[in-house]
Structure 1
Amino acid sequence: MPSHSTEPKLIAGNANQSLSKAIARRMGMHRGSASELVSARIERFTDAEIFVEVFENVRGEDMFIIQSTSNPANDNLMELLIMTDALRRSSAARITAVIPYFGYARQDRRTKARTPISAKLVANMLTEAGIERVLTLDLHAAQIQGFFDIPVDNLYASPVFALDILHRFKGGMQDLMVVSPDVGGVARARELAKRIGAPLSIVDKRREKPGEVAEMTVIGDVTGKTCIIVDDICDTAGTLCKAAEVLVEAGAAEVHAYITHGVLSGPAIERVGGSVMKSLVITDSIEPSEAVRNCSNIRVVPMAPMLTQAILNIWNGTSVSSLFELDTIEPIYQGLYSEV
């Protein structure tokens, strides 16, 4: 345990200030005293160059930088790298990057000739900058952990989603059907289905080109079921809304979706608002826009309780994988789901 401070030191980039402040507040609750984000100036020069100045002494401290690399991905990634350099040059003892949403994760392999593996490049940049550990949430592809030569803790939203489902659908659990929107996401959907004791169905989709869905088929009987679509990223929401339609056509009573990262770009919010889906539940790994907050069928589940506990576990040198279990998550979310 570090000798300089009685708590881990948190510093935040501009990507998700509300989540960063929520983590600091919860940290204060755990420590029994007010916990503030380290005071710093992160700004743009007139030519859009990023400048960082840390106003507090961080020598010998265990630093946690909270920064999603969401849209604008390049700006937020560069902020993270420059903050890391500032802390390293200020003699911080250890720097952990808390990246709730890891941008470029979808570029995790070469899909055709002469294409990059950008997720690996990002991993190299983070390590070279001086980051010694990464804490992230629902990586798009688990193998990205292997792109790093430093420890990577990949948390899962599924125990929090399971808690939310047990709370929201209490009394109707026997009618639930967990649905994977494609064959690639079956492992993620199966894990949630196992947690809540529900059967599993798959929507098989054939893509002609990115962003377009050619044809969809439901594998499994969803007649009269309350379907819960599970995925890690919702970008333009085209696939999601089409999958919801296909499920209703196949006889589903109603459709809900639980998606970890609400990228929600372009026409996504309009599509979700006008879709047959009763609700779309996302986390605040990406800062929800005003339009997201105002959309009647989008609900945001907070990740601060889980991330705060993970930061404390890393700082204390205790298990992070304990947060994969419902029994561990339930007390952390006690105020939110007090009667599961």
Structure 2
Amino acid sequence: MPTSSEPKLIAGNANPTLARAIARRMSMHRGVSVGLVDARVERFNDQEIFVEVYENVRGEDMFVIQPTSNPANDNLMELLIMADALRRSSAARITAVIPYFGYARQDRRTKARTPITAKLIANMIVESGIERVLTMDLHAAQIQGFFDIPVDNLYASPVFALDIRNAFRGRMDDLMVVSPDVGGVGRARELAQRIGVPLSIVDKRREKAGEVAEMTVIGEVAGKTCLIVDDICDTAGTLCKAADTLMQAGATEVHAYITHGVLSGPAVERIGNSSMKSLVVTDSIEPAGPVRACPNIRIVPTAPMFAQAILNIWNGTSVSSLFDPKALGPIYEGLYEDA
């Protein structure tokens, strides 16, 4: 059993801003100070990663906050090495809080002689001594089955629903949720049902990997304010082309709600020059300077949800209760008044 009366958090270098925000929210919930465990995570000259934990963690319930975003390999190794350091320091339980799970797009063999890297990463996480994973919007639900340990997968859609009701107050009847491809229909449908609006689909066909040859809108979007919903935006090529296609089909405005803003390469420039009025992403990945500076990109916080999920895991209570807007609403009180 833990020797402390509070859960203990430790963070790598992937998203320290989110880690500190989670600690602040937990302090508010608990009424006591919850800080990050004092540790150093640094690199030798040859880029080997070294971790040293300065506080006693024997018998503690540890939560390692570390998305495996770009640079994915470095951040993944930080997570594994931190877990090993905690296990060898006799931590009672180690939970990996991975807001963005890298390599999730490699969840199946798409052609001959290719890997299923998401399964390999799951094996590495389990072997490092991690006993539970807390993540958000896995790219493919079956990745939970790649692990031989419990995996709690949170969803951004309840937070997006709160934001949409606040941002589009008085205009809800004009909204339509759009899936940018057939594979994301389930995610888009779930959000559409939450906010009570219709659903449309953009069907895309690829000539070759990375190139979209043709897009067709399935559904009547003329006169609608369209909300494109997806889990990952990388280079934003497909997203911006989908927005153009919707505008050509008669949509009055196009906005996008994306869980994980990878936003690599020309993504920010494309979004800034696109026909989209706004792109909303979560802070599961640390936003770079150009992302924060882009006037039509907005960031919604996930710290309130992750803080409550960590407390629920620590207390042994339900994490799935956070899927209910009645439970999530009070957690975001003050951010979305009367939404």
CA contact (8 A) 2:2 2:61 kept: no
- How far residue 29 of structure 1 moved from its aligned partner, in angstroms, is 0.8
CA contact (8 A) 2:18 2:283 kept: yes
Task: Please give the secondary structure, in 1, of the residue aligned with 2:275.
Answer: coil
State the percentage of identical aligned residues: 80
Structure 1 alignment gaps of length 5 or more: none
| Distance (Å, rounded) in 2 between the aligned partners of 1:322 and 1:233 | 24
| Distance (Å, rounded) in 2 between the aligned partners of 1:25 and 1:180 | 35
| Distance (Å, rounded) in 2 between the aligned partners of 1:189 and 1:80 | 31
| Distance (Å, rounded) in 2 between the aligned partners of 1:124 and 1:93 | 21
The one-letter code sitting in structure 1 at the alignment partner of 2:9 is L
1:255 aligns with 2:258: no
Q: What's 2:105 paired with?
A: 106
1:78 aligns with 2:92: no
CA contact (8 A) 2:232 2:258 kept: yes
The runs of at least 4 consecutive aligned structure 1 residues that moved more than 4 Å come to none
| Distance (Å, rounded) in 2 between the aligned partners of 1:231 and 1:295 | 20
- How far residue 155 of structure 1 moved from its aligned partner, in angstroms, is 0.2
CA contact (8 A) 2:2 2:92 kept: no
> Over residues 33-75 of structure 1, what are the superposed CA-to-partner deviations in whole Å (9 max), with x where a residue is unaligned?
2211000010000000000000000000000000000000000
| Distance (Å, rounded) in 1 between the aligned partners of 2:57 and 2:76 | 22
| Distance (Å, rounded) in 2 between the aligned partners of 1:74 and 1:163 | 34
1:136 aligns with 2:135: yes
| Distance (Å, rounded) in 2 between the aligned partners of 1:177 and 1:210 | 29
| Distance (Å, rounded) in 2 between the aligned partners of 1:87 and 1:104 | 24
> Over residues 248-290 of structure 1, what are the superposed CA-to-partner deviations in whole Å (9 max), with x where a residue is unaligned?
0000000000000000000000000000000000000000011
Aligned residues: 339
| Distance (Å, rounded) in 2 between the aligned partners of 1:85 and 1:294 | 37
The one-letter code sitting in structure 2 at the alignment partner of 1:243 is A
1:32 aligns with 2:22: no
- How far residue 210 of structure 1 moved from its aligned partner, in angstroms, is 2.1
> Over residues 116-140 of structure 1, what are the superposed CA-to-partner deviations in whole Å (9 max), with x where a residue is unaligned?
0000000000000000000000000
1:269 aligns with 2:292: no
The one-letter code sitting in structure 1 at the alignment partner of 2:79 is L
Q: What's 2:185 paired with?
A: 186
Q: CA RMSD in A?
A: 0.6
Q: What's 1:330 paired with?
A: 329
- How far residue 3 of structure 1 moved from its aligned partner, in angstroms, is 4.3
Structure 2 alignment gaps of length 5 or more: none
Q: What's 2:164 paired with?
A: 165
The one-letter code sitting in structure 2 at the alignment partner of 1:90 is S
The 5 A counterparts of 1:225-264 are 225-264=224-263
> Over residues 200-242 of structure 1, what are the superposed CA-to-partner deviations in whole Å (9 max), with x where a residue is unaligned?
0000000122221110000000000000000000000000000
| Distance (Å, rounded) in 1 between the aligned partners of 2:158 and 2:101 | 20
The 5 A counterparts of 1:281-320 are 281-320=280-319
| Distance (Å, rounded) in 1 between the aligned partners of 2:154 and 2:214 | 33
The one-letter code sitting in structure 2 at the alignment partner of 1:203 is V
| Distance (Å, rounded) in 1 between the aligned partners of 2:90 and 2:290 | 41
Task: Please give the secondary structure, in 1, of the residue aligned with 2:230.
Answer: strand
Q: What's 1:22 paired with?
A: 21
1:214 aligns with 2:235: no
Q: Provide the TM-score with structure 2 as the length reference.
A: 0.99
The one-letter code sitting in structure 1 at the alignment partner of 2:125 is L
Task: Please give the secondary structure, in 2, of the residue aligned with 1:208.
Answer: strand
Q: Provide the TM-score with structure 1 as the length reference.
A: 0.99
| Distance (Å, rounded) in 2 between the aligned partners of 1:275 and 1:319 | 41
- How far residue 10 of structure 1 moved from its aligned partner, in angstroms, is 0.1
**Greater CA drift, 132-141 or 330-339:** 330-339
| Distance (Å, rounded) in 2 between the aligned partners of 1:252 and 1:3 | 55
1:156 aligns with 2:148: no
